[in-house]
Amino acid sequence: MAATLGVKVAISYTIITTILSILIGFTLEKLGFENQIKQVMVKGEVDIGKKRNLKEALQETFHLMKTVYPYLLLGAGIGAIIHGAVPTEWILTYMGGDKWWLVPLAAIIGIPLYIRLSTMIPISQMLIAKGMALGPVMSLMISSAGASLPEITLLHSIFRKKLVFAFVGSVMTMATLSGFLFYII
């Protein structure tokens, strides 16, 4: 990020997202979201002091993967379809300029795009070069890397709906606040 967008942007991104992540975590804890995690049942005896052999460890791993894998496949499929269906030119046409409402809009658009941060960095450089302001770009970057449809689908397998919605809202809030802070920077 520093090489592509500059050291100031990279440091600001790191500080802003770290502080907001911690604040959001404390807020969710204060609001009592601990009870929104589904009960994950481990079958069989759990003996903390017992050493497991490789075969038992692999069996347990595959069992856990089987319960989560369908959600992961569904989410990845949805994310891939949306990623291919939303052309970059559309984003440039409708997201160009320096209007305040582009920041929350970019946060909303970013979530279903399913763009990894490592992929989003060169895309963000291109978007900035073509006229998109840094605030909406950072909002798009944070929301697309922070919560994707595959991730939301996977989280739904272990979180109750209230916590899934809180997670998505938290990512959108972080992306929007960060985008506005990048206008100041």
C-alpha dihedral (17, 1, 6, 147), degrees to nearest 10: -40
Q: How far apart are CA 92 and CA 102, in angstroms?
A: 11
> Given this model, what pLDDT does residue 166 score?
92
Q: Is residue 46 part of a domain?
A: no
Number of domains in the chain: 1
Q: Is residue 48 part of a domain?
A: no
3-state secondary structure of 73: helix
Q: Is residue 44 part of a domain?
A: no
pTM reported for the whole predicted model: 0.69
Q: How far apart are CA 61 and CA 176, in angstroms?
A: 37
Mean pLDDT, the chain, rounded, equals 80
Q: Is residue 45 part of a domain?
A: no
Please name which of 176, 148, 152, 149 lies closest in space to residue 164, comparing C-alpha atoms. Answer: 152
* pLDDT tier at 81, thresholds 50, 70, 90: low
Q: Is residue 76 part of a domain?
A: yes
Q: Is residue 50 part of a domain?
A: no
> Given this model, what pLDDT does residue 83 score?
55
* Parent domain of 176: 2-36+55-184
3-state secondary structure of 97: strand
Q: How far apart are CA 181 and CA 22, in angstroms?
A: 17
pLDDT at 141 over 60: yes
Q: Is residue 42 part of a domain?
A: no
Q: Is residue 85 part of a domain?
A: yes
